[in-house]
Structure 1
């Protein structure tokens, strides 16, 4: 396989193993119960040892790094390569983006379980005071030999496990920097949460950049490309693979004025030359797009006031392939697109930038970023956008040129409009 595929496979392999044992819901977990630790490590061990030829896909990191050649639980001990360990705690990060997945192992000392800097040797000048921001731990001073093949640790220790091409291998952090942060964690100068926030600082800094872009585009809605993040988003969408969807039914809802459904013509998107079409999440004022949902309840909740008990509903089928920008929330990215796009997608979608609820009926700054994305998508021949509903646990679809899609037979209605009632 080529290098790019190999890199992706190492990440997917590690992430799939974690998820197969702990589930794929993005979260961080601290595990201190010994029975639970043993159970989890036993299950992970079984998964790893099913494909021993892929052990090199998983690495541990500390003062240096190395791939796995042994990973198993036996006789209440955990064996990692040539180490025999008692594990006191696991801290596991499961992220939608595989590069951010990791497991931190907190190791019990066989002779002492309370970490004290005085029980370790450090690579510092003889007379200098220990500084965890610049000095590193010499672990050979606490690593004892059990026999010719196995070592154990006399004092508490920790290390991090990731995919071979996880975040530590992307030239963002040096091995020394990772070790210093692990030392701070070991001696409780920082918490697990502090470590995670440092580890995922790419996302933290990008969130600040998105907030700055939001403020810029609210102030200057026609000048989004003057902001560096606007340019990044534009270029990523320009080079993005289109998601193709066909042979699927969506639902369009309209509020009733009388208790009988509209005719078919009345259930399509409104004619912008005859009625006022107000700004929506993905359309500017005067742009008439077709908004639909993948199920009746979501279609109803998106457009019908809560106090209405029913609406006019119609089914619209996507027959032939429609090319879409996929902005749906996912639990685990396959990274078929660039890592840059995946990270941008994660921050826009998971952090809620494109799904903010409007707070004021007269001004809707929450829509400026999604409308910019829609402009980029239309420019580069996307035919619509798939996105999560903010009103229900469902999926929405907006089509930019419904009249053209209808004329070319890509979408059509095959049943008359009907009354949908939520009661």
Structure 2
């Protein structure tokens, strides 16, 4: 055991001279090393520390150590790929090329670890060149190396693998670019989900890409961008997709119209502006800003509820008849309490339907509160000289509130009708695709 201890100390220090001295004392010392007694081999230790000369000397005496796995199922190549030690990766792939396809206990190849850790892109290039098959190997959820590049936003690795695939002649009709994971998502779908603009540009510039590919939910990459929360990054990506020839073909496919002449692309320096901006007023979307304002909305609802509840609590027994005020107060009080109950229960305002219910309840509560105020003004008309002016002002405000409330209802109707039409359209497209497969 003393000799083995000295060997591991030499590996930790990267001392080739001590290694040679140990081999002179015991020529079989490297052959007796086994992970059964030690979690790591001396080659694992030297690789972890980046001692290239020591690792090369060990491989020259006993190449078998390159195939030994540690407690996590990692070969020395896994360790070198994770740490980004380029020279050691080159030596290991030269000595044992098949180690590129060795999987750890969690099912990952050295290439997968290099992509996930974001190490030097040269390491990814060496691993892909050593064995192109590793770029097609899948993880437990069906993700390929390109899927991982998108998930971990490793654009450099993505470009390198794409170049190696093109050199190897793997870009064809049924290629890795259009491979789907268990969710039916291609790399184009993942890039759209993560709004990765540069990767989308590289993918759509590749002739072999299928921009109209659908995932398990029947959605294309354009559908995912359109249905995502609207922010500056998403609008820029949507603008790019709508201007690309690939997305023009996608639009033609969805509309099922005859092909039209493709217009040449022009430079676009200004911000994205929809051609028909009036449609925005009738488009209902879940709003992440409402989610951030949840606390403020609860406070507003609580104030409205208190404003309506206090007059009823302190109403005199022999006081004036307040039947009408009681009705309007109740109609304003109930929606306000409903809003507080929904938000406290955790209803997400990023959800379209939940956001609509809360907004409409708030409009209703404010509307009846204004109606109650108008009733109070009318009942005190003889007391104040400026009643007419206040009445007109509040009436205008009440009318605007009712107009906005009606617009919110129209948005809900448009959203429901649009959702139904989209479902019917996807069903027809799926039926046509299935008919095309069964009747070639």
Q: TM-score of the superposition, structure 2-length normalised? A: 0.22
Bigger RCO of structures 1 and 2 (CA < 8 A, at least 6 apart): 1
Q: TM-score of the superposition, structure 1-length normalised? A: 0.22
Rg larger in structure:
2
The structure with the largest strand share of the pair is 1
